[in-house]
């Protein structure tokens, strides 16, 4: 298995989109990722390849919030899950993007409770969100990385080509942008108040 880390979450959005600082009445009001197409990039630890995995907007936003270290008023689902597992002394040993079936990536979470280890089937977006919160290593099957990887440094350009190759719409005036950069541009200086 190839060890990887989350390089970024990329979002398909207008080139001229200008992130605005969060506004509101003290509650968390962010327009972090105003996009419906989102990709998490898993970059191999000792190389220049990245595995792009399309994920849903919710999973992308909560991963981006975590990567950008933006506080939320209440624990998000993945934060709650990680805290709950920790409270019952279950450790996440590792997460693996283990296979590709058609166009669907498969992942497993290896959890340890005492002397017992369990491998649990998961969506990659859920497994990755849990891994970053639990501090667990992320691995990618070598064959999956070989077949599906792109150059990490060329990710936005290569994702446009991948989108077109798989029949996706390439709207004029849109591009792949860093979710982390968008989130950091909108980061509040004062933490949000609980709802």
Q: Which domains does the chain have, with CATH numbers?
A: 2-186 (3.10.690.10)
Please write the tens of the pLDDT for every residue from 77-118: 999 999 999 999 999 999 999 999 998 999 999 999 999 999
Looking at per-residue pLDDT, the higher value among 41 and 12 belongs to: 41
What's the pLDDT at 19? Answer: 67
Which tokens belong to 125? 């977006």
Name the average pLDDT for the chain: 86
Contact 67, 188 (CB under 8 A): no
pLDDT at 22: 54
* CA terminus-to-terminus distance, the chain: 42
pLDDT bucket at 35, cuts 50 / 70 / 90: low
pLDDT at 27: 37
- Packing angle of the helix pair 57-67, 179-186 (nearest 10 deg): 60
Helix (H, G, I), strand (E, B) or coil at 34: coil
* 173: its two tokens: 């005036």
How far apart (Å, rounded) are the C-alpha atoms in residues 67 and 145?
23
User: pTM for this one?
Assistant: 0.86
Helix (H/G/I), strand (E/B), else coil: 149: coil
Q: Does pLDDT of 48 surpass 60?
A: yes
């Amino acid at each position: 298995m190839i060890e990887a880390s989350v390089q970024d979450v990329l979002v398909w959005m207008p080139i001229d989109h200008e992130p605005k600082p969060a506004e509101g009445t003290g509650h968390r009001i962010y327009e972090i990722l105003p996009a419906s197409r989102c990709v998490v990039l898993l970059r191999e630890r000792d190389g220049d390849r990245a595995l792009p995995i399309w994920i849903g907007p919710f999973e992308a936003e909560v991963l981006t919030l975590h990567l950008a270290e933006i506080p939320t008023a209440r624990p998000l689902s993945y934060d709650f899950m990680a805290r709950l597992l920790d409270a019952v002394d279950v450790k996440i040993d590792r997460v693996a993007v283990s296979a590709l079936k058609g166009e669907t990536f498969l992942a497993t979470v290896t959890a340890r409770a005492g002397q017992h280890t369990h491998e649990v089937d998961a969506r990659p977006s859920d497994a990755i969100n849990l891994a970053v919160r639990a501090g667990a290593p992320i691995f990618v099957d070598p064959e999956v990385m070989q077949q599906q990887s792109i150059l990490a440094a060329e990710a936005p350009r290569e994702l446009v080509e991948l989108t077109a190759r798989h029949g996706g719409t390439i709207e004029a005036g849109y591009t792949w942008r860093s979710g982390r950069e968008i989130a950091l541009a909108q980061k509040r200086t004062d933490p949000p108040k609980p709802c």
